[in-house]
């Protein structure tokens, strides 16, 4: 009986160790500095509703990729989106306008779909080197003619180390 209990405990310990090892590997392999996602209330993105993400760069000798994340419903009425990105480095602010194509000419959405919602991860800056270590902020605002811009459900950013350093 004692031998069966020891064997059972050993199996549980092995399973627990394997689980912890897998969690450690998955956390250790991530190169993401920040992965933000902000829900847009009532799917109505107004000009005043800027989505801001603050993050910390610990090693400015490495290159980073910055991606704009967007989710919209099938009822979004445009094949593209314009945004303004405000890159804030302390008191310095650099604003850049981006246009992203969201649908083919025939109206088929380019994003990955799940039911009525389509998701995109779109490049803003790739292999970008930050000028220093420290805190940075990126603020995103919609720059379309419609205010509010309807059927946008989520907006966010991903900042991660570039794998092509």
E strand map for the chain: 32-35, 38-39, 44-45, 51-57, 64-73, 80-89, 92-101, 112-114, 117-128, 134-142, 149-150, 152-161
Nearest C-alpha neighbor of 144 from the set 72, 74, 38, 87: 72
- Token readout for 157 is 């950013």
Residues comprising the chain, all counted: 165
Q: Name the percent of the chain lying above pLDDT 70.
A: 81
Residue 19 scores a pLDDT above 70: no
pLDDT digits (tens, 9 = 90+) for 41-74: 999 999 999 999 999 999 999 999 999 999 999 9
Nearest C-alpha neighbor of 128 from the set 93, 84, 87, 98: 87
pLDDT digits (tens, 9 = 90+) for 112-127: 997 899 999 999 999 9
Q: Are 71 and 153 in contact (CB under 8 A)?
A: yes
Using left for φ > 0, alpha for ψ between -120 and 50, and beta otherwise, residue 40 falls in: beta
Residue 12 scores a pLDDT above 60: no
Task: Look up the pTM and report it.
Answer: 0.80
pLDDT given at position 4: 53
pLDDT given at position 32: 78
pLDDT given at position 91: 86
pLDDT digits (tens, 9 = 90+) for 28-46: 445 778 999 999 999 999 9
Output the average pLDDT for the chain: 87
Tell me the average pLDDT across 139-148.
98
Query: Where does 29-160 have alpha helices with state H?
Result: none
- Token readout for 104 is 């083919």
Neighbours of 74 (CB within 10 A): 11
């Amino acid at each position: 009986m004692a031998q069966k209990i020891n064997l059972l405990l050993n199996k549980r310990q092995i399973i627990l160790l394997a689980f912890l090892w897998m969690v450690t590997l998955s956390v250790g392999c991530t190169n993401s500095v920040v992965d933000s996602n902000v829900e847009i209330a009532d799917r109505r993105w107004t000009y005043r509703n800027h989505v801001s993400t603050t993050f910390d760069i610990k090693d400015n000798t490495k290159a980073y990729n910055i991606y704009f994340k967007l989710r919209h419903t099938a009822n979004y009425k445009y094949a593209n989106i314009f945004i303004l990105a405000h890159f804030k480095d302390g008191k310095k602010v650099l604003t850049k306008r981006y246009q992203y194509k969201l649908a083919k000419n025939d109206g088929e959405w380019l994003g990955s779909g799940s039911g009525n919602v389509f998701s995109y991860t779109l490049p803003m800056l790739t292999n970008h080197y930050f000028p220093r270590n420290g805190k940075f902020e990126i603020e995103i605002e919609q720059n379309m003619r419609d205010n509010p811009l309807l059927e946008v459900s989520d907006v966010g950013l991903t900042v991660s180390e570039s794998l092509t350093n």
